[in-house]
Structure 1
Amino acid sequence: MKFESILFTGCAVFFAIVAIVYAIFSDGEAVGIAALFLSGGLCLIIGGYFTFIARRIDLRPEDRSDGEIHEGAGELGFFSPGSYWPFGIALSAMMTGFGLAFWFPWLIGVGIIAIIVSAGGLLFEYYTGQNANAH
């Protein structure tokens, strides 16, 4: 996690420098300046998270200079083989976006409810059947 924290924090510094240079040479064009500063802020959030995590876990093989490839072998976790819930979340977000764009309050409400239901379905997809009581 150490490399990732350095990478994202470095990107945040880069975006901040570019935003300052852009502000000077663009005569204060607000949208580009805001976009660059916000991009830097988002990278700083991710870099801060990785820094926070890197302090609390043991060094991984890729974080050590003497790490070997075989040390990183083994099970890394569970990854879903396929799910339709992200498609449902996308459709729900599209429905909410249409409701906002054309100002249909009822469509906004239905879309928000659909987002909550589909996000819950994605979250609890593998907590059914034999995995219901797994922690």
Structure 2
Amino acid sequence: MRTTGRLMWVLGGSFLTVDLAYFIWSQLAGNFELVGLMTIGLSGALCLLLAFYFGRVVAANGEFEWAEDRLDANIDDGDPEVGFYSPWSWWPILLAAATALIFTGVAISPWIALVAAPFLVVCITGWVFQYYRGYFAR
């Protein structure tokens, strides 16, 4: 992880250097373009943010070896438990439909998004609280 952090520092610095060169070059050419400048600059900022995060994780936990780096590791060593998924649940499908309606409303007409917003809230609430009622209540 320390190597990944160092790589991100170098990559972020490279992006910011290229961003500065892009800004100067566009000023000298007389056609200032904000989209490219922001894209390269935000890519550098993202790399620096990741480098800072990886550095803080290494500082807090110490250097450790990932399962992918060990020659004697099994497949299960790099496959942690990521959570629980309900295969019988209909809420993810309804949530996808509500989100599709929201995006359709943003693209076509805002009143569609206003009608779909309560449906989205109901779907999120149902998905979060699906284990509090019914046959699978805990």
Q: Is the 8 A contact 1:61 1:69 kept in 2?
A: no
**Offset, 1:50:** 1.4
Please say if residues 2 and 55 of structure 2, whose CA atoms lie closer than 8 Å, have aligned partners that are also in contact.
yes
Residues 100 and 25 of structure 1: CA distance in aligned 2, closer, same or farther (over 3 Å): same
Query: How many positions carry a matched residue from both structures?
Result: 125
In 2, the alpha carbon distance for the partners of 1:3 and 1:85 equals 41
Match of 1:69 among 65, 68, 71: 71
The residue number in structure 1 matching 2:37 is 33
Q: CA RMSD in A?
A: 3.9
Query: Which has the larger Rg?
Result: 2
Q: So what's the TM-score if we normalise by structure 1?
A: 0.62
Please give the per-residue CA displacement for 1:37-65, whole angstroms capped at 9, x wherever unaligned. Answer: 11111222222211111111132225xxx
Shift of 1:102: 2.4
Q: Name the counterpart of 1:102.
A: 108
1:78 aligned to which of 50, 59, 81: 81
Distance 1:59 1:120 in 2: 41
Deviation digits for residues 18-43 of structure 1, max 9, x if unmatched? 11111122232111101111111122
Gaps of 5+ in 1: none
Aligned-pair identity in percent equals: 21
Aligned in 2, Cα 1:79/1:38: closer, same or farther, shift over 3 Å? Answer: same
Query: Alpha carbons of 1:15 and 1:117: their partners in 2 closer, same or farther (altered >3 Å)?
Result: farther
2:60 is paired with a residue of what secondary structure? coil
Q: Determine if the alignment matches structure 1 residue 57 to structure 2 residue 57.
A: no
**Residues 95 and 108 of structure 1 are in contact (CA less than 8 Å); yes or no, is this contact kept in structure 2?**
no
